[in-house]
Copies of this chain bind each other. A is one copy, B any other.
């Protein structure tokens, strides 16, 4: 099937408050066939241990993404001229049965991968990243992936509330155990907030995960963080996951587990732009929780992060 370059609704003709609120107001084809990049929603938050609501994330990120124009003002990238990208809608996933939901998400991403498209998804809570990684890992068959994780939390805990292995605080521990992620090629940026135990991150560190706490990120500056990311990732395949709570809650209040003292959007944008050159197999924006948002600010931040990711990935695919 030939690649078709899809374009957002033309803002010079249709105002941005009008038209179908798909991601970036792009077409919504029935299948991912023929796409280079598939924007996809994963409206599920069954792994949330505290304040749910990320199930509503995809819809509101779509809504705010109407504010995105066609091109990037710094890199000059216009992704729609480089690659075929569209909104393939939401993965069908039900909110009641957790284990079944993980399978539904994996199946949805698998279909995207099978069509040859790279998944760029919007969650949903952070547990959604686990089945996404499973699907990419299987489809690519390239071995364990690296991970660039923007987040306030390491999400490498073992279990919650007794023996629950699958929550939004555990996805990367599971992914390492399953051989999907290479812990030595995981870098976590913006980690902060109070901890359950003094050694809470010890397991992660023992695996070789590189945690750049917010305090170190502050010292390094965005450029220093970017250099560290490249040092660790190299050019081997990796995945980029952006938990919106990596951003400061003043700029992204609508999330389930806010931690003050976070990354500014300016810092985060500079870091995402610095991902150019990585070999990215997929990416996501997660934990945008509209019921806790104020004035759509978090959804706007999420939509802009999505656009930044789209630009850097599209440019990378097109080299």
Q: Report A's interface with B, CB cutoff 8 A.
A: 11-22, 28, 41, 43, 45-53, 55-56, 58-59, 62-63, 67-74, 76, 78, 89-90, 92-98, 100, 160-162, 164, 166-167, 191-198, 200, 213-215, 218, 248-251, 253-254, 257-262, 264-266, 269-270, 291-295, 297, 300-301, 304, 307
**CA–CA, A69 and B157, complex, Å:** 14
**B213 and A90 within 8 A (CB):** no
This chain: how many copies in the complex? 6
Residues of B within 8 A of A13 (CB): 92, 94, 161-162
Q: Name, among A15, A259, A292, the residue most crowded by chain B CB atoms within 10 Å (CB to CB).
A: A15
Residues of B within 8 A of A265 (CB): 248, 250, 260-261
Q: A46: shortest Cβ distance to chain B, in Å?
A: 8
Q: Name, among A20, A70, A161, A307, the residue most crowded by chain B CB atoms within 10 Å (CB to CB).
A: A161
Residue of B nearest to A307 (CB): B194
Residues of B within 8 A of A21 (CB): 21, 59, 62
Q: A103: shortest Cβ distance to chain B, in Å?
A: 12
**CA–CA, A53 and B95, complex, Å:** 13
Given A59-B21, A74-B215, A301-B260, is A69 in contact with B249 using a C-beta cutoff of 8 Å?
A: no
Residue of B nearest to A263 (CB): B266
Q: A16: shortest Cβ distance to chain B, in Å?
A: 5
A-B contacts, 6 of them at CB < 8 A, read A14-B90, A68-B194, A71-B197, A78-B198, A249-B297, A260-B265
Residue of B nearest to A60 (CB): B63
Residues of B within 8 A of A269 (CB): 260-261
**B94 and A15 within 8 A (CB):** yes
Beyond the given A19-B89, A94-B160, A248-B251, please list 20 additional residue pairs across the A-B interface where CB-CB is below 8 A.
A13-B161, A15-B161, A16-B49, A18-B43, A20-B22, A49-B96, A53-B53, A69-B193, A69-B194, A69-B195, A71-B195, A73-B194, A95-B161, A97-B161, A98-B98, A194-B304, A260-B300, A261-B266, A294-B295, A294-B297
**B11 and A291 within 8 A (CB):** no
Residues of B within 8 A of A67 (CB): 50, 257-258
Contact residue among B78, B98, B260 (Cβ-Cβ distance under 8 Å from A96): B98
Residue of B nearest to A258 (CB): B300
Q: A87: shortest Cβ distance to chain B, in Å?
A: 9
**CA–CA, A74 and B253, complex, Å:** 23
**B90 and A18 within 8 A (CB):** yes
**CA–CA, A307 and B92, complex, Å:** 25
Residues of B within 8 A of A69 (CB): 193-196
Residue of B nearest to A56 (CB): B17
Contact residue among B96, B218, B292 (Cβ-Cβ distance under 8 Å from A166): B96
